[in-house]
Each structure stands twice: as structure tokens, then as C-alpha cells.
Structure 1
Amino acid sequence: MRSFTVLKDATRAVLVDRPVPAPGPGEIRVDIRACGLNFADLLMQKGTYQDTPAAPFTLGLEVAGIVNSVGPRVDGFAVGDRIAVYSGQGGLAEQGVFSAGRAVKLPDAMSFEHAAAFLIAYGTGHMALDHRARLQPGETLLVTGAAGGVGLTAVEIGKLMGARVIAHARGADKLEIARHAGADILIDASEDLRARLLELGGVDVVYDAIGGEVFKAAFRATNPEGRLLPIGFAGGDVPQIPANHLLVKNLTVIGFYIGGYLNFRPEVMRRSFETLFQWYQDGKLKPHVSHVLPLDRVEEGMELLRSRASTGKVVITP
């Protein structure tokens, strides 16, 4: 089978032929129909992601496909099941072997492309805003990078949770996508973010995927008792948070990494996915996939993420 693999002692991935593995105890083997790309894939290529496996390994954190083999001691899955897996690695391949504990069955109406764009982006948005930040109806939510993979889903979810949603993104086209997802107020990245937020009465919850100066501006416009979620650092700079300002305004900065819940509180993730799948079936969530590319064009997909030229998700279809 073909896979997009980071070779030993390398900092880039290449398409290689690898043997098809057999599933072990607690594992399922999957014919992969779609794999969602994430910014973490870029970091893994460079070896800078907090959860980078030892090389050689195949990139691809989330996949959707059909079970073609079931290993010993697996309950709840059978050959032919349509599933999605928060795999952590191994998704950019024609087949993969994954822990059954990381797999979920798909609603009948969900396409493989939507499924591969769903778990990480929507799971991150929902768990961060609901479980961690405790976003309340009527509060004001700022989403930065609001047309990207995790940002756009946070706009949708924040609106469903009853918040007034402010979307921050670069350019009219990206802001229009955020508006279509439910944003109430749009702020272009060329504007003075802090000044605009203060004009609007400040914000209660910040969901920031950019970092750097954007986070600093949002931090200074957060209302007393506000909560800030530094979700990612697509702008390249990790912000340093002045603790004295936290004290003065009684602010809370909340760490969140969805992958951690696989190990210490998987039930939180399962409950979140149940809620999200129900919202999808009810037509309340509409995944935005800007590009669908075959496996031999995965480098093109990576560059779309690197240059921030995509909106929503980029999906590879092995």
C-alpha cells in the first residue's frame, strides 16, 4: 500500500510503498477513504509537535473509511462498518490499523469527506467551549482564524450554544465564509482588533488559533472574568501572558489539547462526539471542505495549510 511517511532521521514526508499490516488485539484495519489534514501534520513533519511519534511514521491524524478486518478482543465493530478514527497518525495511506477505542461509527447520512473533516475540528471547538470555557448563552465569543479548520467550527458551535460570535479573519472572502457559518460580527485582520473589540463592549471568551499579536490584542479587550483559549499558533509566535493582568481583571487562560482526553478522560470525548453527531444529523452542523485531493497531491494540500490559503478543511482521498 502507498503511504505518506516521515522516514527515519528525516524532516519531510514522502510517498512510499509499505506492507499492509494485520490488526492486533483491540485493533481494526481500515480501507481509508478520506483523511483530514491538520496544522499538526506540518509540525510533525518538522518534529516540533508535542505528540510527534518516533520516525518512521505515517502522517494523518483523522481518517474515515470501511473496516476490512477485526483483530482479537474487539467489540462493537465488524467488517463493513463505516467509521471515523481519531488516529493521531497513519491516516495518509490506502489502509491503516488503528485502536478500536479511537473509532466511532458514522451516521448513515455522513460522507467520508465530512467525517474526515469532523472529529478534530468540531471536537476541539465543542470540548474547548463547552467542557473547558463553559460558554454561556448571551456571552460574547471572539474566534480568531475564523475561516480555518478549527476556527470555522468554533463559529458554528458558539452560535449553537447561544453566544454572540465575533469572527476575525483576513479578507472579505474568508469573513463571508464565517458569516455564513453564523458569525454575528466580522472583523478583518487589517483592522485594529483591540479597538474594534472595545467598541463592541469587549469579549467574554476568546478562542484563538493565531497567537502572537492577535492574542495580545484580544487579551487586552477581554472583559473581567473572561476566559481565553489559546488553541493554536498559526501566526508562528507563542504569546507570553502577563500574570499581573490576569489578577487585575480576574481573567482565566485555559489550556486545551483534545488528544490528551484520549488518555485521561475519554468519556468526555465520547459525550462530545455523540452531541456533535446528533447536531450533524439534525442539520445544525455543515462541515466546510475547501479542497479534496488524491494521495499523490498531498504535498499540495500541506502547502494550502502552510500558506493559509484554504478555508475550513483540506481532505485527502486515498
Structure 2
Amino acid sequence: MPELEAAALPPSMRAWRVTGLGEPAQVLSLDAVPVPEPGPGEVLVRVVAVAVNFPDVLLARGQYQVRPELPFVPGVECVGRVAAIGSGVTGVSVGDRVVGSKIGVLAEYAALPASDVWAAPDSLSDAEASGLTVAYQTAWFGLHRRAALQRGEWLLVHAAAGGVGLAAVQLGAAAGARVIGVVGSAAKARTAMDAGAEVVIVRGVDDVVGAVKSATDGQGADVVFDPVGGEAFDASTRCIAFEGRIVVVGFAGGTIQSLAAGHVLVKNYSVLGLHWGLYPSMRPDLVEVAREELSRLADKGVIRPVVDRVVPFADAPAAFTALAAGDTVGRVVIEVMP
């Protein structure tokens, strides 16, 4: 039997569920469902806050690489308190404040593999900690594992005022890189600069290629972190440095570009794919390294998730809509339980 809190768990809970495929505001339903029981190797988390990610929007639309059977609970990262512990789990106790990731956390309780939760840094509020897992580990693996970013190198970050983009800007600056951020509007420029960007380019207003070459004295960017794809990727190939590395993180712009292999050869650069979700199963040892480093940097005040707004649980669809519209900076957080 799982270890329980002193007070018995309720038999049911509220959970947002995707009941069909489409825009989140049209397909999300707030339902009463049974509280899950943690199985072997799992912990039950009383969810306090959930950070909305672009994959949540894609999941609702049926456009994500993983397609859960309908109806399903979205939400891929959260912060909360351990409420119950399944068999075979060590190193965690009821009441621990943890962050974790798994599809299905936009509910009052969520059962997660114990390997997918870790202690929330004391230095971060619940709203901040809710956005630490996915974006910051994605940025950490992209910059350090895939691109091997070095101190003094030029780092170009697309969507630099978004959740994962801001994480990349902060981690790049922490590593001693010289960061160039591309943002969607002049209003977002200050957010990127505050995060550590030395140069900020406004997409649609400034010439991205020309601005990167000007900032780098014609050299180009040594590393590109690209969660946008499409035109952003194409621009990156025109301002990448000799032996530069472009990390493909996603396609938030809606277009999956084709790769011109001849151009890669002639300009002598590398294109690296990043699917962070593979690391917990393929290289859990590296996940532990990333978690320790992120906690250390958070506690030193070097990195801190930027929270654009906190939305009540009952208004969760509005959080998805705001993120999909691209008019937010940093993270949109849903407060599940105060």
C-alpha cells in the first residue's frame, strides 16, 4: 500500500481534460475524476501550480509527437507536495516540495514516476519553480550537451522572451557566452536584456542576419538555439559562424523547414536535433547532472524563471490561449491549489 498523508486523500478531484482536438479554449473541459493511486515506483503529487508549455497547445490540437487517447489531462510540468508514495520508492517523503514532469499534471493530484520528480529549489516561489523542469532542462541540454557552448562564444537565441528562450538566454549568460536574443516585439526586448542578452533583435523590424553579423564583426553566431523553425532557421543558416552549431529545439513558428545538406557542407556548420524527453530514459545520469546544476544556479540567483502571469485553475483555458497567441513573456502559470 502507498504511504498516505495523515489526512486521507479525497476520492475525486478536479482535472482539466482535452475532450476533442482543436484550440485549447474549445476542447478543454473541467471534470471530476478519481484521484490516482501511485503505482510501484511512483509518487502522488498534490499539484500546486502548473507552467503552460507550447507542447500543451500542440497536444490539444493533436499536433504533438505524442498523441494520448481522448479524453486526457494536459500539462507537462508542475510544482507540488508529495501526497503519497508507491512501493519501491526511496529518497522522497510525504510533504516534500517537488517539481516534476509528465503529461497529465493539470489536475489537483498527479501520479508521476519518482525518477521524474526532484526537490524544488528553496530560492524559487511555487510559480517560478513550476517552470523550471522542461524549459531549463531543454535549454541546458541544448547548450551544454548538444552544442558544447564555450565561454566567450556568440549565442543566438530565437524567441528569446519566451519560456524556453529566456531559459537559454539566462543559461548562456551564466556560461559566459555573449548572447544575442531575437524577440517578437519591441516590448519584449527589455525582458531579454534583463535575462542577460547583450544584443536584442526585433523580428520583423530588424534585419536578423545583418544585425547578427554586425554584432559579431562579420563572424556570425557560434551557437544558435532555435525553438521557432521555419524562417528563423533559414536566417540562422545565413549568419552561422565557421564550425557553428544550430540546435533545432522545435517549430513554434508553425513551419518545419527542410535542410539543405549542400549548404551545411559548404559553410561547414552543424545542425543538431534536441529531443529533451528522451534523456530521462536514455541518459538519466545526465538528467541528474542537469538538475543539480540548475538547482545550484537557482540558489545562487543566477537563473530565475520569469513569470508573465498567474491564472486561477478555473481559468486554465485562458492561459493556453495567451501562450498560443504569442503575447506573453516568460511563463504563464496556472495556480491549481493555493
Aligned letter for 1:234? A
SS where residue 90 of structure 1 aligns? coil
SS where residue 155 of structure 1 aligns? helix
2:170 matched to which residue of 1? Answer: 156
2:282 matched to which residue of 1? Answer: 264
1:79 and 2:94 correspond: yes
Q: Structure 1 residue 53: deviation in Å?
A: 2.1
1:3 matched to which residue of 2? Answer: 15
Aligned letter for 1:267? D
* Partner Cα separation in structure 2 for residue 108 and residue 233 of structure 1: 33
* Partner Cα separation in structure 1 for residue 15 and residue 122 of structure 2: 28
* Partner Cα separation in structure 2 for residue 105 and residue 204 of structure 1: 34
Q: Deviations over 1:108-158 (max 9, x none)?
A: 333221111111111111111001100111110100100001001111111
TM-score (norm 2): 0.91
1:45 and 2:57 correspond: no
SS where residue 130 of structure 1 aligns? helix
Q: Of 50, 54, 60, which residue of structure 1 is paired with 2:75?
A: 60
2:161 matched to which residue of 1? Answer: 147
Aligned letter for 1:131? R
1:236 matched to which residue of 2? Answer: 254
1:100 and 2:114 correspond: yes
1:126 matched to which residue of 2? Answer: 140
Change beyond 3 A, Cα 1:10–1:184 = closer
2:9 matched to which residue of 1? Answer: none
Q: Structure 1 residue 10: deviation in Å?
A: 4.5
1:19 and 2:34 correspond: yes
* Partner Cα separation in structure 1 for residue 33 and residue 191 of structure 2: 39
Q: Structure 1 residue 51: deviation in Å?
A: 2.1
SS where residue 180 of structure 2 aligns? strand
* Partner Cα separation in structure 1 for residue 199 and residue 133 of structure 2: 26
Q: Deviations over 1:34-54 (max 9, x none)?
A: 111000001101111112322
Matched residues, percent identical? Answer: 39
Contact 2:121 2:129 in 1 (8 A): no
Q: Deviations over 1:51-71 (max 9, x none)?
A: 232222210100110111111
SS where residue 137 of structure 2 aligns? helix
* Partner Cα separation in structure 1 for residue 177 and residue 263 of structure 2: 25
Q: Deviations over 1:184-203 (max 9, x none)?
A: 01111121111222223211
Divergent runs of 4+, >3 A = none
1:178 matched to which residue of 2? Answer: 192
Q: Any gaps of 5 or more consecutive residues in structure 2?
A: 1-12
Q: Structure 1 residue 283: deviation in Å?
A: 1.0
Q: Deviations over 1:3-38 (max 9, x none)?
A: 11123x544321111011211111111110011100
* Partner Cα separation in structure 1 for residue 66 and residue 129 of structure 2: 23
Aligned letter for 2:16? F
* Partner Cα separation in structure 2 for residue 10 and residue 249 of structure 1: 42
Aligned length: 316
Q: Structure 1 residue 249: deviation in Å?
A: 1.4
Q: Any gaps of 5 or more consecutive residues in structure 1?
A: none
